[in-house]
Structure 1
């Protein structure tokens, strides 16, 4: 293959990868917007609150605020405001960490665990309905393909 043909093939391959990225981004944004709206309408809550509850649901013993911020990839300030409102609503509690006066563990209350479990079940149904056009086989293939995408450690050419 000539260098010109190889260059053209590489450019087309790169453009195809860019189209893939743009489609993934578009679908992700559309789904996120729909989820945000449904959370607002059906549960009078926000996606960030849902995300905090989800992280705490997975960690039964609770999480330090710093670990919660890291898990959600947001600043401590963002998490603090959300946690304060969740405490007011009786969905989470702050528990002091012994030996560290500044640190707090945030845990779901029984009410928070029950409410999140209900929301998570409904949320799962929303996702299933948004992606219901995929056959089981297509869904399996798509998961496998996306699992093969590794971003960390990728070096530019």
Structure 2
């Protein structure tokens, strides 16, 4: 937990200072970027493991800044689709490159085998929790 908190704190500070953004905003944009197209708000919040209200608050701010669009589904206006704008995609790509460099720097003292082992152990721990 200490490593996780320390890493998150470094990333939060870096994103705040270098990109004038927050880690939750980055996470929302990353999920939308990975999807490559619009996502339902409910799918987005499920992917991020946050409530619909929490995701909506972040999306509201991103929409206000012109980084995402929100569109009601024509067949069910209660369902809202969210997607990155071109500006959002461009900003995210820049942020993602810098984010990757920061992660590489944070873990530069570990070799590929060490990082693979950590990843594999965390995946096994996650899978074991799903079984319980």
Separation in 1, partners of 2:17, 2:129? 35
Aligned residue runs from structure 1 range 61-76, under 5 A: 61-76=37-52
TM-score, normalised to structure 2, is 0.92
Given candidates 1, 7, 21, the residue that maps to 1:45 is 21
- 3-state SS, counterpart of residue 102 of structure 1: coil
Separation in 2, partners of 1:42, 1:94? 27
Separation in 1, partners of 2:119, 2:77? 44
How many angstroms does 1:90 deviate by? 0.7
Deviation string, structure 1 residues 25-76 (Cα, Å, up to 9, x no partner): 1100000011111111011111110111011111122111111111111111
Aligned length: 130
Q: Which has the higher contact order (CA 8 A, sep 6+)?
A: 2
> In angstroms, what is the RMSD of aligned CA positions?
1.3
Q: Identify the residue that residue 100 of structure 2 maps to in structure 1.
A: 124
Q: Identify the residue that residue 54 of structure 2 maps to in structure 1.
A: 78
Q: Does 1:144 align with 2:120?
A: yes
Separation in 2, partners of 1:99, 1:34? 43
Q: Identify the residue that residue 97 of structure 1 maps to in structure 2.
A: 73
Q: Identify the residue that residue 8 of structure 2 maps to in structure 1.
A: 32
Task: Note closer, same or farther for the CA distance 1:100–1:138 as it changes in structure 2 (3 Å cut).
Answer: same
How many angstroms does 1:96 deviate by? 1.9
Off by >6 Å, runs of 4+ in structure 1: none
Separation in 2, partners of 1:142, 1:72? 22
Any unmatched runs of 5+ in structure 2? Answer: none
